[in-house]
Chain A
Amino acid sequence: MMKLLIILNLSILLLLFTSVSKKKLSLFENLFVIMVIELFITSYGSVLYVNTNSWEISQGATSMVIFFLFETLVTPLLYLWLFNFYFTTKSVGKKLGLSVLTILLLLSLEIVLVKWEVISYAKWSAYYSLIGYLAILLITLPLIVLYKQYLQKEWIRSK
């Protein structure tokens, strides 16, 4: 129960912090990021624990809620923060550093879930997850760039 409370508190705080803080991307861009990430991250998860059985999610309501919060709230919000900083930083080094930091943070949280026995790896290792999070980042990035460009064109056109 303590584990559930920790992840629940973390999710609520992260959600609150995201809602009240001033973001670098516009409302439209933020919504686009969160929805694309939701689609990709939940699909990635389903491939791992439904199709290939590389992950096993523990039975029981507590584990299910913990994993659901991690998958659908914590992970997308962390990516959202990454993209908010990513597009305001000019330096390539900083962009790279931020991306590495976010991926490591996501991986650390995933490892915590493994330690808590919410997820158990079968035919899987944390290194693969590293590649998985990087792949999601690399697939999402061009989509966001395209949407940003389209949005700029449309808003400039309407001015």
Chain B
Amino acid sequence: MILPTEFDQNEWFVILGLIFGLFIIFLLPNRIPFSLVILIMLFSATTARLSDQLLARPQVDFYDIMDTEKYDLFDFLTYFLYAPFGYLFIYLYEKFQIREKKTFLYILLWSIFGTFFEAICTYFDVFQYKAWDIRYSFTVYLGLQSLTLLLYVLLKRSYNSFCKDEEI
């Protein structure tokens, strides 16, 4: 994997974002079993990777990530920016006991927040749009947040059926 051509604001943004993300994970009290947290964070990183693989690959090329069209080390690290994002999404869902109709509003608000977060990333040159528009990202987040929550609910059910004494 190649290194960035210039170490500037986008690399610093990714590094500081990762530190901030780790800080959030360790600072928040344990509300969800860590085995589940790992899967949710991995899911967020993997879906971000797969979305880019589909939308930013050379044949499609809607946008570039970081400095070049190449796949550099910081492209890879960018995906882990989404891991704490996914964790916080699930954490607050549990903390505020969001259920039924509130879930709809919750996903909608997080999709707006996700789009806003991407706009900040774009401001710091993490993403460089070619044939992409920030409005399209909202639709992507709407789908992915719903999938994340669906996965969490399924995993939680599976965890609870296995560890009946310690239900989440």
Q: Which residues of chain B (10-65) have a CB below 8 Å from chain A?
A: 33-36, 38-39, 42-43, 45-46, 49-50, 53-54, 57-60
Q: Is the CB–CB distance between A68 and B54 below 8 Å?
A: yes
User: Which of these, A28, A39, A50, A151, contacts B46 with CB under 8 Å?
Assistant: A39
User: Which of these, A28, A46, A49, A159, contacts B155 with CB under 8 Å?
Assistant: A28
Give the complex CA separation of A50 and B60 in angstroms: 13
Contacts A28-B158, A50-B70, A59-B59 hold; do A151 and B49 have CB atoms under 8 A apart? no
Could you tell me the distance in whole angstroms from the C-beta of A35 to the nearest C-beta in chain B?
A: 4
Give the complex CA separation of A42 and B45 in angstroms: 12
Contacts A50-B70, A158-B166 hold; do A43 and B38 have CB atoms under 8 A apart? no
Q: Is the CB–CB distance between B35 and A51 below 8 Å?
A: no
CB neighbours (8 Å) of B70 from chain A are 50-51
Residue of A nearest to B166 (CB): A158
Could you tell me the distance in whole angstroms from the C-beta of A72 to the nearest C-beta in chain B?
A: 6
Q: Is the CB–CB distance between A39 and B155 below 8 Å?
A: no
Tally of chain A residues near chain B (CB < 8 A): 28
Q: Is the CB–CB distance between A36 and B42 below 8 Å?
A: yes
A126-159 to B contact mask, C-beta < 8 Å, 1/0? 0000000000000000000001001100110011
A45-71 to B contact mask, C-beta < 8 Å, 1/0? 011011100000101000010001001
Give the complex CA separation of A159 and B165 in angstroms: 6
Q: Does B131 contact A (CB under 8 A)?
A: no
User: Which of these, A36, A42, A150, A159, contacts B53 with CB under 8 Å?
Assistant: A42
User: Which of these, B35, B46, B50, B158, contacts A154 with CB under 8 Å?
Assistant: B35
Could you tell me the distance in whole angstroms from the C-beta of A100 to the nearest C-beta in chain B?
A: 27
Q: Does B129 contact A (CB under 8 A)?
A: no
Give the complex CA separation of A154 and B158 in angstroms: 14
Residue of A nearest to B53 (CB): A42
Q: Is the CB–CB distance between A51 and B71 below 8 Å?
A: yes
CB neighbours (8 Å) of B1 from chain A are 43, 47, 51
* A-B contacts besides A32-B39, A39-B46, A57-B59, 20 pairs, CB < 8 Å: A28-B35, A28-B158, A28-B159, A31-B39, A31-B42, A31-B151, A35-B39, A35-B45, A39-B42, A39-B45, A42-B49, A42-B53, A43-B1, A51-B1, A64-B60, A68-B53, A72-B53, A154-B33, A158-B163, A159-B165
Smallest CB-CB A-B distances: 6 pairs: A46-B71, A158-B163, A158-B166, A35-B46, A35-B42, A50-B71
